[in-house]
Amino acid sequence: MPEDSIDHINFEELNSKAISKPIVTHLYTADPSAHVFENKIYIYPSHDVDAGEAFDDLGSHFAMEDYHVFSMDSIEGNAKDHGIALHVNDVKWAEKQMWAPDANEKDGKYYLFFPAKDYEGIFRIGVAVSDLPYGPFTPQPNAIKSSFSIDPAVFKDDDGSYYMYFGGIWGGQLQRWRKGVFNASQPESPTAFLPKDNEPALLPYVAKMTDDLLQFDESPKEVEILDENGNLLLAGDNDRRFFEAAWLHKYNGKYYFSYSTGDTHFICYAIGDNPYGPFTYSGRILNPVVGWTSHHSICEFKGKWYLFYHDSSLSKGVTHLRSVKIAEIKYNDDGTIQTLNPYN
């Protein structure tokens, strides 16, 4: 549900209709990235704080400065807060706005992938490493070479290859990289440099990672999202085009690329045959939640599949104070995903 529709919401009634409750209530969490490590669910969210910034379409009010990691022994169990795993003050190249992270594991090491603005105001993506899934994480001295924009998501394929998906428009700055270099003009405009409605929409990116998971092993490539006719989704197709929050998971041999449509507030997905795509738009996973943003992950645990997402119901609609939730997702026989309504 967009920001301008919350004034008339009865939050007590809304929360009674919600399909799930916040799993963390002592602080605000968002953008949950969920993985199963050591037979537990580990969740790597962003940490919402009220920094006193006014709402704007650049996301200035999302002033997050650290990450907490949470673990769960079961879907029904409590989420354990393992404390601060990484703080922006520990990252030499980063100045502020540690937005949605992800994590993965290789050879007993754990890797936290995170975006942050550098001292030139440009979003880059960094890596931090730990011997434990919950940290603390030690950041690399520099951001990933050739990284840009936001929302890293790192997928491990069955052959042991790792791929990072990333990108976000508006405040995520993806549109400022259309010519291959950062366009710093019109910094106050989140929609400058966007394609016209009848032009192909901006696309997220993917890059295979090096064996040590610290760098890209190739130049990032665009991830094509196609319509039912095999054409790229258009920029004006706001209900289906990519905005932010890339995620990839694999089900029955197919690759599912899911993402947020941003200003129309859907979590959608597209299906492909390999990690690079192309992916064909296949439907919605989640209808709009309370709050402006929608950002998710999808994870299998003990034979069932779950959507990890957030809304702003706990903060009674405050856009930048969100709470992580979990809901089971189900697949139809043809591989499509049944759409969830967050409030029945």
Amino acid 63: pLDDT:
80
Half-sphere exposure at residue 133, Cβ-oriented, CA atoms within 13 angstroms: 20
* Burial profile 204-234: b = 16 or more Cβ within 10 angstroms, e = fewer: bbbbbbeeebebbeeebebbbbbeeeeebbb
Q: Is 276 exposed, middle or buried (0-12, 13-18, 19+ CB in 10 A)?
A: middle
Supply the pLDDT for residue 194.
97
Domain ranges of the chain: 3-329
149 Rama sector, left if φ>0, alpha if ψ -120 to 50, beta otherwise = left
Q: Which helix (H) or strand (E) holds 12?
A: helix 11-17
Q: What one-character DSSP code corresponds to residue 177?
A: G
Calpha distance 269→276 (Å, rounded): 15
Find out whether 59 and 92 touch, Cβ atoms under 8 Å. no
Amino acid at 139: P
pTM of the model: 0.96
CA 79, 85, 91: angle at the middle one, nearest 5?
Answer: 150
Is there a catalytic annotation at residue 244?
yes
Rounded CA gap, 287 and 303, in Å? 24
Enumerate the β-bridge partners of residue 124: 116
CA 2 to chain centre: 18
Query: pLDDT per residue over 137-164, tens digit each?
Result: 999 999 999 999 999 999 999 999 999 9
How many other β-carbons are positioned within 10 Å of the β-carbon of residue 39? Answer: 8
Q: Which of 31, 151, 224, 311 is catalytic?
A: 31
Question: What average pLDDT does the segment 308-332 reach?
Answer: 95
Pick the CATH number of 3-329 from 2.115.10.20, 3.30.230.10, 3.40.50.620, 1.10.287.610: 2.115.10.20
C-beta of residue 105 within 8 angstroms of C-beta of residue 69: no
Q: Would you say 77 and 65 are in contact if contact means Cβ atoms under 8 Å apart?
A: no
Whole-number pLDDT of residue 2: 46
Whether 31 sits among the annotated catalytic residues: the reply is yes
pLDDT tens profile 12-60: 898 899 999 999 999 999 999 999 999 999 999 999 988 776 677 777 7
| Per-residue tokens: 31 | 């953008």
Catalytic residue among 102, 224, 244, 311: 244
